[in-house]
Structure 1
Amino acid sequence: MTLTDQPAPAPRSLPTWNSIETAAAAAGLEVCAALHPARQPVQALAGGTLILLGTGTAFWPLFKTSPEYQDSVPDPVDSWSGRVVGALARDLGGTAYFPFGGPPYSPFINWALASGRFFTSPSQMLVHDSAGMMISLRGAIHFEQEFDIPPAPLAQSPCDSCPSRPCLAACPVSALADGGPYDLAACHAYLDTSAGAGCMSGGCLARRACPLSRTAGRDPEQTAHHMRHFHPQ
């Protein structure tokens, strides 16, 4: 048989929401948002379907067995994300994007807000409709095709029905103010003190104070790992 006699390769089947969720979960990730850029205009993309991936409850145990963690490579979570999300994109027939590796950086905040599943909290940090402020976006997959995605579960920000706004009062140095700006210097200075040990081991008190964060299922070791990279000691 000559090359011209060979049958054409079968077209790749259209991805489905369930197949993407299943593949992401097997890798320790969760589909935390999705959108159609043609219907919800965003930066950098014009059409198709965009899926945003974050860490799930299964992430940390899987990550600890990974070569990136065990070999202590620099920025192990980013390295893991590049490998795992990149492989998912290839297997599913999409293109991977990452919130690191720039500049230039992919506009993840713009994408997240456009999805209707992320909102700007009073403290100006992003809040997710189910994970609260315990957010760790590890990548995104863009598909050229449009396919069905579930509607966003909330019509408005969960902060609108949270009158106590504990995220504003939890920070011991008031680094977070209603409407911002974030006092990054005060935050880092506090983390350098012995009193900041609780934030370093358990995570930002403001993020943890969000009622939704308390049910996000984040492993304290994972949170401490991110804090060490945010504030190296």
Structure 2
Amino acid sequence: MTFFSRDRLEEVASALAANGLILRSGFSFGDDEMAPAGLSGFPAKSVLLVGQAGAAPWPYFQRWLEGQPRPIANPLDSWSREVIGGVAKEFGARAVSPSDRPYLPFQQWAMRAEGLRPSPLGILMHPQYGLWHAYRGALLFEDEISVPEPYAAIHLCDTCVEKPCLKSCPVDAYSVDGFAHQACLAHVRGPRGEPCRSGGCLDRNACPYGAEYRYPADIQAFHMAAFAGV
């Protein structure tokens, strides 16, 4: 068995940072777990999660997109795969994406690695970034990697009495009963959905936490267009 050194971990983080991405955290799979395959096809020993905080990757993604010779379906996924795939190749890992099929349990991995819990909107609430963060992929290694255990952070949603994230949507798309997907789509695509199309989800923007990491309106519009197909 080989072990991944702390210096090597910092090198991975530095390689990701060159495109505005961050090494979120990770963990080693237990011997009794059904771990996904690593680069060689044998079960991976460890996973490192790759993501973003705020809009840091956006300038890098835009430059890449402007350099493409023709329109690309799901360009952010394609860019993420290319960047994370390059880092994986450099460090002998297998790169995987949240959109890969069969789907891998990215949200469960994230909760385990970072000690996060879902907000009422389903997005994991981060103690620093609030709802303004994302996971863009992961690196699967056939090495043991020692990553610090997540600290027991306060779940901010438990301290939020007013819950503005459940009161700002015109069609009450989010509630304690879950997400009304079709109602949300109909509203966003309809004549009264312009605020959502141009500035993002009103419920998400109503959350008071991590405001300094909030995506700018043009980025939120990009994501909303991808979600609603508009």
- Provide the TM-score with structure 1 as the length reference: 0.82
1:55 aligns with 2:52: yes
Quick check: 122-131 or 156-165, which moved more?
A: 122-131
List alignment gaps of at least 5 residues for structure 2: 38-42
**1:31 match: secondary structure:** strand
> What SS does the aligned partner of 1:194 have?
coil
User: Secondary structure in 1 aligned to 2:51?
Assistant: strand
RMSD: 2.8
Gaps of 5+ in 1: 1-10
Task: Supply the distance in 2 between the matched residues of 1:216 and 1:176 (Cα, whole angstroms).
Answer: 22
Q: For 1:78, give the aligned amino acid.
A: D
Instruction: Name the counterpart of 2:157.
Output: 159
Relative to structure 2, which stretch is displaced further, 93-102 or 217-226? 217-226
C-alpha deviation, 1:40, in angstroms: 11
SS of the aligned residue for 1:133 comes to coil
Contact between 1:37 and 1:47, CA under 8 Å: does it hold in 2? Answer: yes
Structure 2 equivalent of residue 112 of structure 1: 110
Higher strand share: 2
For 1:224 and 1:167, locate their aligned partners in 2 and report how far apart those are by CA, in whole Å: 18
How many angstroms does 1:83 deviate by?
0.8
State the distance in 2 between where 1:133 and 1:74 align. 25
Q: Which residue of 2 aligns with 1:19?
A: 11
Listed one character per residue, the Cα deviations across residues 164-220 of structure 1 (whole Å, up to 9, x for unaligned) are: 222111222111112x32101111111123332111122111222222342224233
CA shift, 1:126, in A, is 2.7
What is the distance in 2 between the residues matched to 1:62 and 1:75?
16
Query: Which shows bigger deviation, 85-94 or 66-75?
Result: 66-75
Secondary structure class of the residue paired with 1:34:
strand
Residue 214, structure 1, aligned to residue 211, structure 2: yes
Greater CA radius of gyration, 1 or 2?
1
Tell me, yes or no, if the aligned pair for 1:131 and 1:212 is still in contact at 8 Å: yes
Q: Deviations over 1:104-159 (max 9, x none)?
A: 11221221222234311234333233322223321001222223323324434221
How many residue pairs end up in the alignment? 221
Q: Which residue of 2 aligns with 1:140?
A: 138
